[in-house]
């Protein structure tokens, strides 16, 4: 008996291992679903064998296929997965059993049923991560329950343990291969509780099952939101605002210094220095849309100067070298420069007076988000 079930276990593992090797799609963490999600029902046919220590000294064959100890049966179950790795199942099985009194199969039919409450552990999800496209799930379980012998009109308590293998053939349907073992009190077989030597009688029930699982309601699990990505996006927006404030503060300090020295500098010279300084326009991470239209206020001053003096402007695009490959950053910096150039044209600057330069990814400013910008300045 033991050798048979050890062989069945190895057979399940070897076959399901090959199925698992073909499953290479992405795995990810999940959030808990609602109570009505991830329910399932199961139905199957079983081959059941009864044996126990009360057979000692009878000289009976230990083969589970002997008619005096085995019979077919049926099972039904209903359960729910509370996480991808942990579930509960209520399982009912039985009908045709045997009380192993002798080897001639005379008068030992024992009609019975048993119901067990079992905890399921989906090791495929627990160790490999949840994957909704996984073909095979390896699920050990254990539990306890109650059995009744309809033939002897007796009840017995028992324990159960086993391994369930699920092979998914569609999003809703799986084929099951299950082996299990139940240990009960002597009442289930209608025999005395003790042997002549005072040893307690404990009937054992071993079974192999083939069945089908049907999923009810929602089957899949939701992805956990990428909190780090959300934080990074929010931080990039904050960095862009901080960079804008820093530039405006520096510009205010420069204007204060110019006003303090106004007596010694001609007005025309002061205006020339002001419009020659580069003006920054900032962008969010991986974006070519201007983060804040407020950045265009200073750009408008340069546009007015270009129109009044037919001056040429240089628009230079930059990207953060720490957030992408060189080719991607070069293209992104080009798009940012072109976006600012389009705004200058809208402000009335001649297109031929605008020169576009793409610098690609740089790390000249701190924090790195300050590098996500485009600058506008008077051509030298």
pLDDT digits over 332-364, tens only? 999 999 999 999 999 999 999 999 999 998 888
Q: What is the mean pLDDT of residues 106-118?
A: 87
Query: Which has the higher per-residue pLDDT, 316 or 106?
Result: 316
Instruction: Please tell me the distance from the alpha carbon of residue 96 to that of residue 111, in angstroms, as a whole number.
Output: 5
Each residue's pLDDT tens digit, 36-89? 889 999 999 999 998 887 777 777 887 888 888 889 999 999 999 999 999 999
303 alpha-carbon distance from chain centroid: 51
Looking at 20-34, 97-111, 199-213, which range is the least confident one? 20-34
Instruction: Please tell me the distance from the alpha carbon of residue 357 to that of residue 373, in angstroms, as a whole number.
Output: 12
Instruction: Please tell me the distance from the alpha carbon of residue 94 to that of residue 77, in angstroms, as a whole number.
Output: 12
Q: At 371, phi and psi to the nearest 5?
A: -80, -10
Query: Which has the higher per-residue pLDDT, 136 or 232?
Result: 136
Respond yes or no on whether the N-terminal peptide bond of residue 76 is cis (omega within 30° of 0). no
Residue 113's pLDDT band (cuts 50, 70, 90):
very high
Phi-psi region of 32 (alpha: psi -120 to 50; beta: other; left: phi over 0): beta
Residues in the chain: 380
Residue 235's pLDDT band (cuts 50, 70, 90):
low
On whether the CB atoms of residues 106 and 127 are closer than 8 A, the answer is no
Instruction: Please tell me the distance from the alpha carbon of residue 343 to that of residue 259, in angstroms, as a whole number.
Output: 30
Residue 8's pLDDT band (cuts 50, 70, 90):
very low
Q: What is the mean pLDDT of residues 320-330?
A: 88
Each residue's pLDDT tens digit, 144-163? 999 999 988 999 999 999 99
Instruction: Please tell me the distance from the alpha carbon of residue 334 to that of residue 328, in angstroms, as a whole number.
Output: 10
Give Cα separations from 85 to 17, 116, 119 (angstroms). 18, 20, 11
On whether the CB atoms of residues 120 and 86 are closer than 8 A, the answer is yes
Query: Which has the higher per-residue pLDDT, 66 or 24?
Result: 66
Query: Which has the higher per-residue pLDDT, 233 or 214?
Result: 214
Instruction: Please tell me the distance from the alpha carbon of residue 336 to that of residue 371, in angstroms, as a whole number.
Output: 12
In this prediction, residue 15 carries a pLDDT of: 40
On whether the CB atoms of residues 143 and 159 are closer than 8 A, the answer is yes
Name the 3-class secondary structure at 322: helix
In this prediction, residue 44 carries a pLDDT of: 97
On whether the CB atoms of residues 374 and 317 are closer than 8 A, the answer is yes
In this prediction, residue 206 carries a pLDDT of: 94
In this prediction, residue 28 carries a pLDDT of: 53
Q: What is the mean pLDDT of residues 9-14?
A: 47
20 C-beta neighbours (distance < 10 Å), count: 17
In this prediction, residue 272 carries a pLDDT of: 45
Phi-psi region of 226 (alpha: psi -120 to 50; beta: other; left: phi over 0): beta
Phi-psi region of 95 (alpha: psi -120 to 50; beta: other; left: phi over 0): left
Assigned token pair, 342: 């389009």
On whether the CB atoms of residues 290 and 340 are closer than 8 A, the answer is yes
CA–CA–CA angle 151, 155, 156 (5° rounding): 120
- Dihedral sign, CA of 10, 12, 15, 17? negative
Each residue's pLDDT tens digit, 261-316? 775 555 444 444 445 678 889 998 888 888 888 888 888 988 998 899 999 999 99
Looking at 103-107, 183-187, 214-218, 279-283, which range is the least confident one? 103-107
Give Cα separations from 72 to 3, 75, 94, 117 (angstroms). 20, 10, 9, 22
For residue 228, pLDDT over 70 is answered with no
Mean pLDDT for all residues in the chain: 82
Residue 199's pLDDT band (cuts 50, 70, 90):
low
Is pTM, for the whole model, over 0.75? no
In this prediction, residue 2 carries a pLDDT of: 47
Residue 230's pLDDT band (cuts 50, 70, 90):
low
Assigned token pair, 79: 């359960």
């Amino acid at each position: 008996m033991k050798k048979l079930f050890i062989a069945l276990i190895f057979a399940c593992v070897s076959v399901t291992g090959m199925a698992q090797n073909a499953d290479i799609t992405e795995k990810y963490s999940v959030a808990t679903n609602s109570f009505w999600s991830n329910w399932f029902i199961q139905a199957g046919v079983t081959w059941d064998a009864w044996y126990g220590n009360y057979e000692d000294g009878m000289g009976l064959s230990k083969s589970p296929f002997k008619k005096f100890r085995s019979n077919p049966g049926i099972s039904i179950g209903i359960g729910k997965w509370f996480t991808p790795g942990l579930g509960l199942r209520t399982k009912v099985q039985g009908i045709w059993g045997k009380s192993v009194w002798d080897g001639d199969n005379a008068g030992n039919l024992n009609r019975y049923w048993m119901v067990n409450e079992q905890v399921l552990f989906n090791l495929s999800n627990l160790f490999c991560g949840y994957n909704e496209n996984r073909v095979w799930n390896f699920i050990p379980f254990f539990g306890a329950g109650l059995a009744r012998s309809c033939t002897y009109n007796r009840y017995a308590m028992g324990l159960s343990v086993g391994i369930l293998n699920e092979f998914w053939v569609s999003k809703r349907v799986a084929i099951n291969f299950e082996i299990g073992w139940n240990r009960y009190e002597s009442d289930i077989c209608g025999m005395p509780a003790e042997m002549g030597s005072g040893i307690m009688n404990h009937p054992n029930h071993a079974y192999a099952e083939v069945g089908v699982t049907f999923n009810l309601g929602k089957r899949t699990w939701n992805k956990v939101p990428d909190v780090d990505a959300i934080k990074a996006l929010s931080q990039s927006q904050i960095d862009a605002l901080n960079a804008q404030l820093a530039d405006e503060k520096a510009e205010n300090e420069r204007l204060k210094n110019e006003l303090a020295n106004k007596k010694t500098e001609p007005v025309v010279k002061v205006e020339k220095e002001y419009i020659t300084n580069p003006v920054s326009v900032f962008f969010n991470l991986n974006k070519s849309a201007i983060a804040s239209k407020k950045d265009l206020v200073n750009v408008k001053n340069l546009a007015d100067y270009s129109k009044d003096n037919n001056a040429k402007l240089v628009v230079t695009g930059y990207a953060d070298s720490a957030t992408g490959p060189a080719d991607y950053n070069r293209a992104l910096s080009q798009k940012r420069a072109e976006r600012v150039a389009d705004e200058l044209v809208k402000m009335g600057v001649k297109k031929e007076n605008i020169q576009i330069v793409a610098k690609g990814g740089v790390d000249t400013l701190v924090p790195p988000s300050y590098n996500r910008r485009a600058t506008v300045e008077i051509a030298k």
